Amino acid sequence: MIKKLTFFIFLTTLVHFSFAQSFDKTRLDAYFDTLGKYNKFMGSIAVAQNGHLIYHRSLGFANVEKQQKANESTIYRIGSISKTFTAALIFKAIDEEKISLNQTILKFFPEIKNAGKITISNLLDHRSGIHDFTDDQEEFLKWHTQPKTEKEMIAIISKGGTHFEPDTQSDYSNSNYLLLSYILEKTFKMPYAQILDKYIAKPIGLKNTFLGKKINSKNNEASSYRYEGDWKMEDETDISIPLGAGGIVSTPTDLVKFGTALFGGKIISQKSLAQMKTVNGKYGMGISAIPFYDKEGFGHSGSIDGFSATFSYFSDGNIAYALTGNGSNFNNNIISLAVLSAVFNKEYRIPDFNTVKQSTADLNKYLGTYASTAIPIKINITKDNSALIAQATGQPALRLTSNGNHEFKFEEAGILLSFHPAENQMTLKQGGKEFKFTRE
């Protein structure tokens, strides 16, 4: 239910900058205009300060086939951001002394291996060792559009077994949060959808946040798409499968309201909030640290069926940010960095998607392995027909596009490579920094 994104970023420097009450919204609009013009993103984003919406933008269509444009109220599946809601509900039950962090899951799921050792805490911070049922992709894709009962899902999870002893390692598993969803239903004696509505949505006024059902475009609910020259509709996972692990739908305006309320202590106690924020191994409990330069933020991201989403909250400035997408032909992390840069007065680039065609023979002059004395990586430059390929040490291979004049870019990460073939040199530009490389 969550997509792990790789960041192709060589170096980040810590700098201090302050939030501007009135940031340049016109420039940020121009950024999104560019993404829309080149079919790079469909979805919505929102930013709030002190609980008040200060920026919103929607791009593309909620439903391409019906030419139904997205707007501020368009509802999206938010994938694993659902886990933050589920964790908050678990802590609500803990605050009310209905359950405890240290109790095992034995009474709930005796059929699961190590149930007498695995605690609710282990489920929350992904230290249970329980196999993630979505990892079996080939098998999962055979039945993910079909309704499943709790009994059926428990059988699937039990069959997957465990990978390590509880609390000895961290390993992200959607199974953990599906089990937490069932624990909530058994504890509150009502369906997950009702629990979510009663304890979070209604009290803080989330009008468009609920457990999803089959997507209904008449209710301004977005369908999801992949880009293959044009937008192609994706399949729908039946919501009975992920529940509180990835089944909630929402809008960015609701998500920034949720973030402000959660971190403002209006949903759970400050003690419980502190526990959610505490990282044990790799993860917190339903939230993760999301730093932005010298700003400390917390939040979560998620993806499901072509939908993508992220939300974060920064106490410095009381800033909440959210993105929900139903189609992406770009790296959404770069979009989030641009929005936060605008809000916190940090420099960012409006992408340039214009390209120059190069013949395969023209690329030969750039090929080779380049090293730098400034940063401890090497970049291997190869080609695939008429495209130049760059691969840095420990990073995935990136397909570059040409600007002409010996310049190539990877727009998704804001990377520009300038070659000087006669001198066997190359300059890497990213994030306002420049690094010289020499061909070996």
Taken in order of first residue, the domains within the chain and their CATH numbers are 25-343 (3.40.710.10), 362-439 (2.40.128.50)
pLDDT value at 20 more than 60:
no
pLDDT value at 109 more than 90:
yes
Which secondary structure element, helix H or strand E, spans residue 113, and what is its range?
A: none
Rg over CA atoms, the chain: 23
Are the CB atoms for 96 and 257 separated by under 8 Å? Answer: no
Give residue 413's pLDDT: 79
pLDDT value at 8 more than 50:
no
**In this structure, how many other beta carbons lie within 10 angstroms of the beta carbon of residue 294?**
12
Q: Is the dihedral of CA 20, 25, 27, 28 positive or negative?
A: positive
Say which residue, 349 or 148, is predicted with more confidence. Answer: 148
Helix 82-95 and helix 174-188: axis angle, to 10°? 40
256: exposed, middle or buried (C-beta count within 10 Å: 0-12, 13-18, 19+)? buried
pLDDT value at 87 more than 50:
yes
Mean pLDDT score of the chain: 93
Give residue 14's pLDDT: 34
* Whole-number Å distance between alpha carbons of 81 and 313: 13
Mean pLDDT over residues 178-182, rounded? 98
State both tokens at 421.
């073939």
Give residue 353's pLDDT: 87
Please, which pLDDT band fits residue 11 given cuts at 50, 70 and 90?
A: very low
Beta strand 368-371 with 433-439 is antiparallel
- Name the DSSP class of 223: P
Mean pLDDT over residues 290-304, rounded? 94
HEC string of 332-388 equals HHHHHHHHHHHHCCCCCCCCCCCCECCCCCHHHHHCEEEECCCCCCEEEEEEECCEE
pLDDT in tens, 26-60: 999 999 999 999 999 999 999 999 999 999 999 99
Q: Which of 1-5, 248-252, 431-435 has the highest mean pLDDT?
A: 248-252
State both tokens at 54.
């200060």
Please, which pLDDT band fits residue 143 given cuts at 50, 70 and 90?
A: very high
Mean pLDDT over residues 384-401, rounded? 90
Per the rule left: phi > 0, alpha: psi between -120 and 50, beta: everything else, 432 is: left
* Whole-number Å distance between alpha carbons of 330 and 54: 25
Please, which pLDDT band fits residue 430 given cuts at 50, 70 and 90?
A: confident
Residue found under tokens 């339903």: 286
State both tokens at 352.
């340039």
